[in-house]
Amino acid sequence: MERKGKSKRPVVISTINNRVVQRSILDVLQKIPEVRAYIDHDGSWGGIEGKGVGPAIDRVYRAIKGGGAWFLKSDVANFFTDIPRDFTVKRLNSMYGDERFKELVRAATITELSNMAELAEDANLFPIHERGVAQGCCLSPLLSNLLLRDFDNAIASSDVVCVRYIDDFIIVGPTQKAVQKAFQRGLRQLEIHNLTAYQPGDGSGKASIGKTEVGFDFLGAHIQPGFIRPSRQSRANLIDKVEKAMNESFGLFKRPSEIRKRRASYIETLGTVDRIYRGWVGQYPYTNAHQFMAAIDDEVESLVDTYSRRFQRISEPYDRLDRMRLLGVWRAADSKFDPIISQPKAPHEENRNEL
């Protein structure tokens, strides 16, 4: 997957059959008491039933209120492609005894690419060898939490709080020295599995350290004492998605017969924008930044107004049929008919029969 200003992300989209099997396996694994107890660590908040982004943000904020004056945040470098898969699967399989199910779990974590030739050299980005798990596979977060349980334990101490969401993590503590020492403990644990984490000041832009009173971004939220809101990057990503949907529609306004096929008519585009925006706002039920959210309402409304005015201007010269196509309202002229009577009657004959 192409990412603006970033390296490509190797996302695997499994077949429907494989996704059904993987999801069924995950449901079984999550019900095994030993598995649940192992991954449900106080430092782990992603990919665990009953947890998630909101509770993770709440835990970070409680750590700040409890005296956390400093933070250090980072993420595990190249995590999904570098997970020691065999080691992690063996750890998982040691928690239950069904040998046939163990083999099924092992097979479900192996990545096979059906479009290897098409990917060419990009195929090497995917976990097709002995290391790595597939991003996009529902089992990957579980395996991540299994492996990083030792990492969570290494960082945990009485003076710092670590909140990890899969491969992203933040350490909150009373002093700069405390969070740095905890970070070093985590790095030593990662080295056991030939993994590492980005470090503040390394130029990657993926790690930082500072005072919590200044504020910081984590999991798409900006957090500072007394205030939690969506991050500016998250806001920018939202506006980019809305503008992309509208621009795609604009590009098809000169081809009315194609706009419905691409689901980019005026009505459908407004529906797309509605789904994008509602989904985005739904990620932040925990925010108290009401003015910030109102400003985004205004920004999206302005984009919609501009789009509507442009639609009115561009569609005005078209005839009634094409205008309805641009609008997104179906017309009989766009339908295919298979009449029983091949020769239609003259209009005056139809009228006479209706009398």
Over residues 85-94, the pLDDT tens digits come to 889 999 999 9
Instruction: Single out the residue of 126, 155, 156 nearest to residue 140, CA to CA.
Output: 126
* H/E stretch holding 208: strand 208-211
**How far is Cα 45 from Cα 39, in angstroms, rounded to an integer?**
9
Please report, for residues 8, 48, 50, 147, the alpha-carbon distance to residue 55 in angstroms, rounded to integers and kept in the order given: 30, 11, 9, 22
Span 227-236, average pLDDT: 96
**DSSP conformation class of 345:** P
- How far is 318 from 332, CA to CA, in rounded Å? 18
pLDDT at 351: 55
Read off the pTM.
0.81
Q: How far apart are CA 269 and CA 302, in angstroms?
A: 15
Select the more confidently predicted residue: 338 or 74.
Answer: 74
> Which among 3-7, 25-29, 273-277 has the top mean pLDDT?
273-277
Q: Amino acid identity, residue 278?
A: R
Helix (H) or strand (E) holding 41, with range, is none
Tokens linked to 339? 């009449």
> pLDDT confidence of 3, banded at 50, 70, 90?
very low
Phi, psi of 169 (to 5 degrees): -150, 155
pLDDT computed for residue 129 by the predictor = 47
Instruction: Return phi, psi of residue 18, to 5°.
Output: -65, -40
> Mean pLDDT for the chain?
86
pLDDT range class, residue 228, cuts 50, 70, 90? very high
Q: What share of the chain is helix, strand, coil (3-state, %, to 5)?
A: 55, 10, 35
Other C-beta atoms closer than 10 Å to the C-beta of 151 total 26
